Chains A and B, each alone.
Chain A
């Protein structure tokens, strides 16, 4: 099926995320949709998948204009969206998963298991895959689960399959198997839209591409006409100059945290690095590369790792988060809403949650002291709130993040770890948060910034460690610390 997007615009409130995108995808293509996080790929695919309509513009399928009000409408037109996070029901069989929501029934609503199993066997044999219809979903590996999702799509006559980063949780072998299937489907005329950050994969698998940057189309064409480096440049855009403070001389400062041979099963392997006082060290990689997990372990949330860690020259291994905090480590987690915000507490209590006992006498919080301490930070941060006793949920994302920063700075940590510190924060607040982080580092705190955004790492950090598949792929500093180099290392290319 041929798909054509014509000047698609999408705005959420006043915030326009797609500024008139037009391109077309031919039938039977394996089409790579590329761009950084927040470039607008997901928004565009969600429009195609019927999650929400575009503000302006049209989608044409085989030349006919279509508009989808619900995901169901889109499905009826033959479009299947396989999300990055698969949601299989692990306690049902493969066949039951394929037919879930559209089960074959016999009289009185009984399930027609026999027919569903037969259909499943048929589709699997067409796809030439070796999965049993009656196996429990739980027993399947990650690639088989992907294949089941694809089989489900095909069984309901999908002519377009959108795959959102299908390979992030797959092994090399599983990836090979998936690619083979994708190629076979394309040969049968099914259109595949393939979203991935791994440029090597794209070069290997896809036939055509489109690149989005900040909500606009910046390039489209045949994959055979471009190199991986060309694509990387298109994705990132112009190379930003490094910041003046990258002249930081790490050697002159004492080492605060040093890690050797740190490993945790299925997450990261043989990690070694050290951070100096006053340094801002970046940790980056693609989703699931292990860079976040290292610090979750260091902070005592998942404390069962092997390897040795020294904190200010002393051996350190926190068995709990409270032990890590006592040792002087502060941790601003990613996904603020899930991991950092306590929605039923006030701005003030949220901003002092890690250090409440500092202001307490006989267990009673002395509010005047608590307020005074919080205000020293919030004034520095230009924090905007109407009442210090309002719930934290009344603040904007950027201001919430500043409250979380205040929570930790109140403890005067030795090491400050920030995981994705500007997630869901607008551009103005982003600048302010960068400023805060720099000031903290200037005071001699060892700062570690974890981010998937190459641009953020480049602008903020003095040095960056890039991870790939749980291992350190390379280290960048000075002039070599560019978004392009980060992207190359993160996608598994050697420099």
Chain B
């Protein structure tokens, strides 16, 4: 009796392992979390202390990954459509610069000069910045879709362009951001700074539905899976591609706002550099196919968490920072090896 039950459970696991691409990702995350919990558990004796440190640690993990998490959500759409966006990090940096030009409270801000202060200034700045990022993303999309240049090349170019321009115009300027700005992400709920996590989760839920339930989501999959067939079905392939990069631009604007708000400043030479690769790594670990057509928002969330938890774990174990990137590299390769269960026909 119990024997046959075990057998059913085993066959269920085997079927999931074979058929559900997210199953192995879930297992990987579960293993990570168990090891992480053990690593954390060593230091404490009483359950109350242990639990509160467990929660604090998790909130830290989630909050630290909210920025790259939001970018990864956009990157999921880009990769599923068969493209790639290397410019997200530079766009993030440029957004920071724009924000500063608009809201700098040390007297140079454009909005402050126009007599707009406080929440109003922040709201206007946020809208303008999202619009600007949409334009930057739109530029990528336009060159890729209408200019017929491979996405890798277009975004490699704009990556250099955006960062270099930002660095040139922002040298020697240290912004002071106004109060409401800092509240955007740093507002505390009880003892915890939860806002970045909330933004991330809300965006994830919205994008999950956008991906799974809408015409747009279906068209993105169709383009990534078989662009020729999508075109010959009357889908406006170019328009969909442009929208994908615009969407990513908007998400980068949000990520940038959260990051500035948390840190209170921005380092224009380094901000966001490498975040494009972190985002791509998370999306790939989450089971999205590099060549397009397959992927999921849930998978990307798992992917971000796997890398986030791993970073946290290495931190807890005292692995030096320079070595952590090596682990990240290994985990990306291992993840893709495990996922290679697709039939090659």
Residues of A at the B interface (CB closer than 8 Å) are 299, 301, 320-322, 324-326, 331, 333, 338-345, 349, 353-354, 356-357, 360, 363-365, 407
B interface majority secondary structure: helix
Q: Which residues of B contact A360 (CB under 8 A)?
A: 214-215
Additional A-B contacts beyond A338-B226, A344-B221, A363-B216 (5; CB < 8 A): A320-B236, A321-B231, A321-B234, A360-B214, A365-B218
Size range of the chain B interface in the assembly: 20 to 34
- A341 lies within 8 A of B232 (CB): no
Q: A363-B215, A365-B214 are in contact. Are A353 and B222 (CB under 8 A)?
A: yes
Complex Cα–Cα for A357 and B319 (A): 52
Whether B232 lies near A299 (C-beta < 8 A) is yes
Whether B262 sits at the interface, judged by CB under 8 Å, is no
Once A364-B213, A365-B213 are accepted as A-B contacts, the answer to whether A345 and B218 lie under 8 Å apart by CB is: yes
Whether A342 contacts B230 by the Cβ 8 Å rule is yes
The 8 A CB mask of B214-245 against A (1 = contact, 0 = none) is: 11101101101110111111111000000000
Of chain B, the residue at the smallest CB distance from A320 is: B236
B175 at the interface (CB under 8 A from A): no
In the complex, which of the residues B219, B224, B234, B293 contacts A324, with contact meaning CB atoms closer than 8 Å?
Answer: B234
Chain B residues with CB under 8 Å of A326's CB are 234
Contact B229 A340 (CB under 8 A): yes
B225 with A342: CB separation less than 8 A: yes
Q: How far is the CB of A373 from chain B (nearest CB, A)?
A: 14
Query: Please, which residues of chain A bring their CB within 8 A of the CB of B293?
Result: 342-344
Known A343-B225, A345-B225; contact A356-B218, beta-carbon cutoff 8 A? yes
Per the bound structure, the CA–CA distance linking A325 and B233 in Å amounts to 8
A326 to chain B, nearest CB (A): 8
- Measured CB to CB, the residues of B under 8 A from A are 209, 213-216, 218-219, 221-222, 224-226, 228-236, 293-294
In the complex, what distance in Å separates the CA atom of A229 from the CA atom of B226? Answer: 44
**Is there an interface contact between A344 and B229, defined as CB atoms closer than 8 Å?**
no
Distance between A349 CB and nearest chain B CB, rounded to angstroms: 6
B229: chain A residues at CB < 8 Å are 333, 338-342
* Bound-state Cα–Cα, A354 to B294, Å: 20
Tell me whether B222 and A342 are in contact (CB under 8 A). yes
Determine the chain B residues whose CB is within 8 A of the CB of A301 once the complex forms.
Answer: 231-232
Known: A339-B228, A339-B229, A364-B213. A354 touches B222 (CB 8 A): no
Contact A364 B234 (CB under 8 A): no
Please, which residues of chain B bring their CB within 8 A of the CB of A321?
Answer: 231-235
Across-interface contacts of A354 in B (CB, < 8 A): 233-235
Q: Report the bound CA distance from A363 to B218 in whole Å.
A: 11
Q: Report A-chain residues with C-beta under 8 Å of the C-beta of B226.
A: 338, 341-343
The smallest beta-carbon distance between B203 and chain A, in angstroms, is 17
CB distance from A395 to the nearest CB of B (A): 14
Between A and B, 12 residue pairs with Cβ closer than 8 Å are A299-B232, A321-B232, A322-B234, A339-B228, A339-B229, A342-B226, A342-B229, A342-B293, A349-B218, A353-B218, A363-B214, A364-B214
* Residues of A with C-beta under 8 A to B216: 363
Give the contacting residue for A333; candidates B222, B232, B235; CB below 8 A. B232
Q: Are A339 and B232 in contact (CB under 8 A)?
A: yes
Q: Counting chain A CB atoms within 10 Å of each CB, which of B219, B228, B233 scores highest?
A: B233
Known: A301-B232, A322-B234. A342 touches B221 (CB 8 A): yes
Cβ of A340 to closest chain B Cβ, rounded Å: 5
Highest count of chain B CB atoms <10 Å: which of A299, A326, A363: A363
Of chain B, the residue at the smallest CB distance from A333 is B232
**Bound-state Cα–Cα, A356 to B209, Å:** 16
State the CA gap A365–B231 with chains docked (Å).
Answer: 20
Q: Which of B221, B232, B236 contacts A345 (CB 8 A)?
A: B221
Chain B neighbourhood of A363, CB < 8 A: 214-216
B235: A residues at CB distance < 8 A: 321-322, 353-354
A407 in contact with B233 (CB, 8 Å): yes
Residues of B within 8 A of A333 (CB): 229, 232
Inside 8 A of A331's CB, which chain B residues have their CB?
232
User: Once bound together, how far apart are the Cα atoms of A120 and B321, in whole Å?
Assistant: 60
Q: How far is the CA of A407 from the CA of B218 in the complex (A)?
A: 14
Contact of A356 with B215 in the complex, beta carbons under 8 Å: yes
Collect the chain A residues with CB atoms within 8 Å of residue B218's CB: 345, 349, 353, 356, 365
> 8 nearest interchain CB pairs?
A325-B234, A344-B225, A344-B293, A322-B236, A356-B215, A363-B214, A353-B233, A342-B225
